[in-house]
């Protein structure tokens, strides 16, 4: 299994082997440069591909032939779009999971309460969702997670058990912070790219083409295009005889701490 520990062991062995070879055959720095480049590429892959489970285990979908999927929304709550999405989900009787940013929760406490009251699940998505979150020390990351955790408990009385890293980026510090919070890391296996695709027809086409049994779909309740496309997509899901189930049921994983 390719993970951070095994990769380090492998590259240490390769490095020492190169040192020995170079000692007897003559020094050629290009081999060491090549080794560093390959090592860097593997780390990049492990950091940015959450389903690789390179640094820590992430729950990103279910291997099944059953036509079930789960919806997840990141980055909210949004005063403008989250209520619209909640109305659509209620109309279609569809459960979802919202990975919330603490800073946005502070500005929209009543919306977080609506999400909880409607029976949707809620996970931690940091407090600030900074572009540099993954470069922070583990202690600082954990402080952010705890801020959002405390706010969630204050509003709903619930203690979150799930964490989704910003942009799906992981590294040893993220692992340490997640472990410190006692969280499970939640990924996805169908990325909508609704933060980049602004044409509703193109976004809907992408979602239709990628749907598969056991999918955890990544959407954002901060995007106008998402609220525009969601009714048509849910209608398509129904026509294709898929069922949208709660994420805890799909993953068989508790969303909240006891």
74 is catalytic: yes
User: Sign of torsion, CA 206 207 209 213?
Assistant: positive
Residue 64 phi, psi dihedral angles, 5° rounding:
-160, 155
Dist. CA 202–CA 200, nearest whole Å:
5
Structure tokens at 172: 């040893």
DSSP letter assigned to residue 160: B
Identify the active-site residue in 120, 125, 129, 220.
220
Identify the active-site residue in 74, 75, 194, 221.
74
DSSP letter assigned to residue 186: E
Which is nearest to 100 in space by CA: 147, 134, 60?
147
Alpha helices in 49-165 (DSSP H): 82-92, 102-107, 109-117, 138-156
Instruction: Say how many Å lie between the first and final Cα of the chain, rounded.
Output: 32
Give me the active site residues, please.
74, 220
């Amino acid at each position: 299994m390719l993970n951070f520990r095994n990769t380090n062991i492998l590259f240490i062995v390769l490095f020492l082997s190169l040192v020995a070879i170079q000692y007897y055959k003559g020094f050629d720095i290009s081999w060491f440069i090549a080794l560093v480049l390959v090592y860097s590429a593997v780390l990049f892959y492990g950091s940015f591909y959450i389903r690789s489970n390179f640094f820590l285990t992430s729950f990103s979908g279910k291997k099944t032939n059953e036509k079930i999927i789960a919806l997840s929304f990141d980055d909210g709550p949004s005063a403008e779009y989250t209520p619209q999405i909640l109305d659509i989900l209620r109309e279609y009787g569809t459960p979802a999971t919202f990975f919330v940013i603490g800073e946005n929760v502070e500005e929209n406490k009543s919306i977080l309460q609506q999400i909880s009251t409607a029976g949707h699940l809620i996970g931690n998505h940091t407090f600030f969702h900074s572009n540099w979150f993954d470069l922070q020390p583990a202690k600082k990351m954990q402080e952010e997670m705890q801020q959002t955790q405390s706010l969630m408990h204050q509003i709903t009385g619930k203690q979150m058990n799930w964490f989704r890293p910003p942009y799906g980026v992981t590294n040893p510090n993220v692992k340490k912070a997640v472990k410190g919070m006692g969280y499970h890391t939640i990924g996805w296996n169908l990325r909508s790219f609704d933060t980049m695709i602004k044409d509703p027809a193109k976004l809907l086409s992408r979602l239709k083409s990628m749907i598969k049994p056991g999918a955890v779909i990544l959407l954002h309740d901060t995007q106008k295009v998402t609220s525009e496309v969601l009714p048509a997509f849910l209608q398509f899901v129904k026509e294709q005889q898929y069922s949208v189930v709660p994420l805890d049921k799909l993953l068989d994983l508790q969303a909240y701490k006891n």
